[in-house]
Structure 1
Amino acid sequence: MAPELELEEEETMEDRTPSFAKSSSQTSAYAPQVKADTVISKGMTLTGTLKGKGTVRVEGIVEGEISLDGALTVAVSGTVKGPVAVNVLRVAGNIEGNATVKDHLCLERTGHIQGDIETVSLVIEDGGRLNGRTTMMERPKDHQPPAEPKAPPVPELEFGPNYPGGWDTDDTAESAQPEKAAANGKKNK
């Protein structure tokens, strides 16, 4: 009988999974995972136009246009057959159609896009497949890049008579300067 693994309330199995064992979608630094407002589940097919604001995750099939002011994630099991226009696009499944992405597109190692894309930022992981033309757009002038983390400040270096390699490096120099020797409590001979 295998022993049961007990976890504290705040700790989950995902927290205990080593980083090398997580999938690329869990560890990718380029496009963070976002909780989806809408999920097209595996086994479901949506036919028509999907428009709106928010985040959508496609695990099933969408046949038609997707136009979002937000993010679209196409899971490994997901397929989109039609044009896509979104702010952020993450593809681990399949897209058969053109894609216009205003901010960032991440084509994961299991992802496949069959169509032309226009984007500002593009990352294709090793194994990701893009069959089509790519047009890189310029960022809008009012776009603010994310702030880079600041390193802690480095204190100023201070040198003085008590610092090795500072003013005096040996006793002979100290004896040549009687006022320094008196300040240090030594008598000049």
Structure 2
Amino acid sequence: MWGQDKQDGKRQTDVNQDTEEVQGESATVKEGLEDISAFVGKGVDFKGTISYNGTVRIDGSLEGEIRTDGTLLIGEDAIIQAKITAGTIVCKGKITGDVVARERVKLRAPAIVNGSVKTPVLSMEDGVQFNGGLEMGQGTQGATVHTLTGSSASGTKRVGA
């Protein structure tokens, strides 16, 4: 029981931190928790399509497709094999598949991404592994296409700003 309480406390802290990062520094802990629509916990295996509005956090395993205009939070223990289309994606886990984000993608260590990413804004911490293609830009006009293999360089790149 004590171990479970500690784990739930850690999960709660991670959720708060990731949600505040997406919403901005002025977000309160209470607001961050209210905004999460669903939570796929560690040890949960899901196969199929998830379509939602709002914010979803995944810490388990998912195979299939994710579609949303909202926010997708991918925890450190998550393993995603899917085509992902979202507004904003914050990832600490492993993604295998193509990713399209309308607003931004944040890759936080120790994230691993194997697949193409299309987004106007990409930020990557040191320690992230990115293997695949990258297309940055609003639509097709002014897009920059890169092929990256290996570990990340830190920083944020904006195209069209």
Number of aligned residues: 119
Distance change >3 Å, CA 71–CA 27, structure 1 → 2: closer
Whole-angstrom CA distance in 1 between matches of 2:84 and 2:99: 5
Where structure 2 has 5 or more consecutive residues not aligned to the other structure, the ranges are 1-8, 25-31, 140-161
| Shift >4 Å, 4+ stretches | 27-30
Of Structure 1 and Structure 2, the greater helix share is in 2
Whole-angstrom CA distance in 2 between matches of 1:133 and 1:28: 27
Report the residue type matching 2:131 in the other structure: N
* Deviation readout 1:63-91 (Å, 9 max, x if unpaired): 11000120001100111111100000000
- List aligned pairs for 1:70-149, cutoff 5 A: 70-138=70-138
- Is 1:26 matched with 2:56? no
Deviation at 1:28, TM superposition (A): 10
Whole-angstrom CA distance in 1 between matches of 2:21 and 2:57: 17
Of Structure 1 and Structure 2, the greater strand share is in 2
Whole-angstrom CA distance in 1 between matches of 2:19 and 2:50: 27
TM-score w.r.t. the length of structure 1 is: 0.57
Larger-gyration structure (1/2): 1
- Is 1:62 matched with 2:50? no
TM-score w.r.t. the length of structure 2 is: 0.66
Whole-angstrom CA distance in 2 between matches of 1:70 and 1:28: 12
CA RMSD of aligned residues (A): 2.7
Q: Is the 8 A contact 1:30 1:106 kept in 2?
A: no
Aligned to 1:150: none
Identity of aligned pairs, percent?
25
Whole-angstrom CA distance in 2 between matches of 1:79 and 1:31: 21
Instruction: Specify the SS of the correspondent of 1:113.
Output: strand
Whole-angstrom CA distance in 1 between matches of 2:132 and 2:23: 25
Where structure 1 has 5 or more consecutive residues not aligned to the other structure, the ranges are 1-12, 15-21, 140-189
